[in-house]
Amino acid sequence: MVLSGASGWRLREAPLFNRAQSASFWGMQQRSVQNCLDFDFVCSRREPSVVAIAAITTRSTTGATTRSSFLSTSKCLTQCANIPDASVMVNFASLRSAYDSTLEALQFPQIRVIAIIAEGIPENLSRRLALRAAEKSVTRHRAGHCPAPWPYVSRSGGMSNELNNIIALECRRRVLEGVAIGGDRDIPDSTFLDHLLRYQADPGAQMLVVLGEVGRSRGIGALPTPCADGRITKPMVAWCIGTCAGLLGSEVQFGHAGACANSGQETASAKNAALAAAGAHVPASFDQLGETIRASTKIWSAAASLLPKEEPAPPTVPMDYSWARELGLIRKPQLVHDVNLRLSAARSCCTPGVPITEIINRDFGIGGRITAPRSQALTTPSLCARAGKDLIRRRSATAPPKQFSHGVDTGLIPMEFVNEMRKRVELIMGIGHRVKSINNPDMRVEILKKFALENFPASPMLHYALEVEKITTSKKPNLILNVDGMIGVAYADEFIEIGALNGMFVLGRSMGFIGHYLDQRRLKQGLYRHPWDDISYVMPEQSQWAPW
């Protein structure tokens, strides 16, 4: 979704991107940062395009923190601070917090472009963002850049990836600039025409590509007029998705909020016909879009007497360790040896030779079945054993999850509870897992949940936590109710105040700690030393410590 100034002058006066620009990310999205740095490496960009990450963290870690990403094979540390030179911000906030974070970003005058990833922002909030962006002359959208004569405008961010693929692979061309204006409902933001007029005035843009969709007369349906009256004179290849709707008996709502034809002029077939009549190159189907772009390119290149430039071979991007290990290309000796608990090939916990789910289903009692197993990935007991420390110094109890009780007792609905925790900058204890997700659930939680729902006379805390889980997993699939949270909400109704939950966790976790501790001693494991290549050194600036 793209927002520009009220008159559009700021949006049309110059290209939005250049090779010297840098961006900041809102949200701890290290994988996306790494993808950007890999793209910088392939494009032979000397300086990283991502220079900062701004994220709301817990109070214990609030402030400037450091996250490690890689540019080629050398490390590039992304400092979480306000960088004055970053004129682009990519906002990965969820739809619940995208509005507030965007308003905060608009306060910084150096930010010219804001790319919002979230969809489903309420229309009234989107209108307010449009107004504030118009006052600040800031563009809000989703886009990418690479020097070449082909710019494009798309409604869908997902389909923009397809356009990149078609132009780069099938047509052997590069993309000058790609903008996806967003698929939410029609609000007074920037349109296809805003960007096409900007491309018309840009001498670097030689041919235009437009990919629209059914519905929204203010979108691609408004392009035939400027093509006919001469405002757009550059060759343009255009296609409107949704022609299959004519084969159906009634109107169909497609993927985006406004992708539905409410009149004959809003159908994809009518828009394609109008564009063709106005002089645009319109293929017979989406499958022929690449062929149409390729044919138009040949005609334009011949008329302009241009020869295709020889493309240099892109450098090879180093493969991530986790991906190479999954493909079986590398191997690494294990630093910790243990037989108490392991992960199977399907990443489910197994005791020696027996899946943990089978152990859970046996009649060992709730405490022994659920809390005794302790993953070796949490290696603190093993490290203490290998360092010669006694077991008593390692044992710790899990604090009772009182947050859900606070939400229920104060009458907060789950959405209000989640928003309150976000405003207080506090984690929701009992929510989140490093390995498991809604697509790969923790069987311990599933068995406990089934037991509680079938045997407890009432479980209001559990139902409340499950509603909170629905909200958190809509943001990230791994923000599930974990086993600690499940046990906590099951016991919270009666035992939270007297400390029974703490006692149960001390007993159950101590059983797991004992197993790991004895294994390390029995296997005669030496003092643990962490690999040097896995340590990132963060040094202060020379001016902070140098005596000269």
Cα separation, 220 vs 238, whole angstroms:
9
Identify the three-state secondary structure at position 207. Answer: coil
Per DSSP, what are the bridge partners of residue 77?
68
CB 30 within 8 A of CB 67: yes
How many other β-carbons are positioned within 10 Å of the β-carbon of residue 253? 12
195 given a catalytic annotation: no
Using an 8 Å Cβ cutoff, are 395 and 510 in contact? Answer: yes
Choosing from 141, 256, 281, 516, the catalytic residue is: 256
Q: 175-180 and 150-154 as β-strands: parallel, antiparallel, unpaired?
A: parallel
Measured CA angle at 134 (ends 130, 139), to 5 deg? 75
CA pair distance 132, 4, nearest whole angstrom: 10
Spatial separation of the C-alpha atoms in residues 374 and 369, rounded to whole Å: 11
Rounded to whole angstroms, the Cα distance separating 33 from 23 reads 10
Q: CA-CA distance, 64 to 428, in Å (whole number)?
A: 22
Return d(Cα 148, Cα 208) in angstroms, integer.
Answer: 12
Specify whether the backbone of 299 is left (phi greater than 0), alpha (psi in -120 to 50) or beta.
Answer: alpha
Distance CA 540, CA 545 (A): 7
Instruction: Say which amino acid occupies 412.
Output: L
Residue 493, token pair as written in the block: 């109704």
Q: Which of 453, 471, 472, 454 is nearest to 463 (CA)?
A: 453
Residue 440, exposed/middle/buried by CB under 10 A (0-12, 13-18, 19+)?
A: middle
The span from the CA of 279 to the CA of 31, in Å, is 43
Give whole-number Cα distances, 445 to 346, 437, 442, 452, 528, in Å. 17, 11, 5, 10, 33
Which of 474, 502, 470, 477 minimizes the C-alpha distance to 487? 502
Contact 181, 1 (CB under 8 A): yes
| Contacts of 486 by beta carbon, 8 Å cutoff, 6+ apart | 430, 444, 445, 448, 449, 462, 465
Q: Which residues pair with 400 in a beta bridge?
A: none
Q: How far apart are CA 192 and CA 211, in angstroms?
A: 9
Give dist(CA 519, CA 395) in Å, integer.
16
What's the rounded Cα separation, in Å, for the pair 307 and 303?
11
DSSP state of 170: I
Distances (CA, A) of 231 to 193, 235, 238: 10, 12, 16
Of the candidates 474, 397, 398, 450, which has an alpha carbon nearest to the alpha carbon of residue 429?
Answer: 398
Residues marked as catalytic: 256
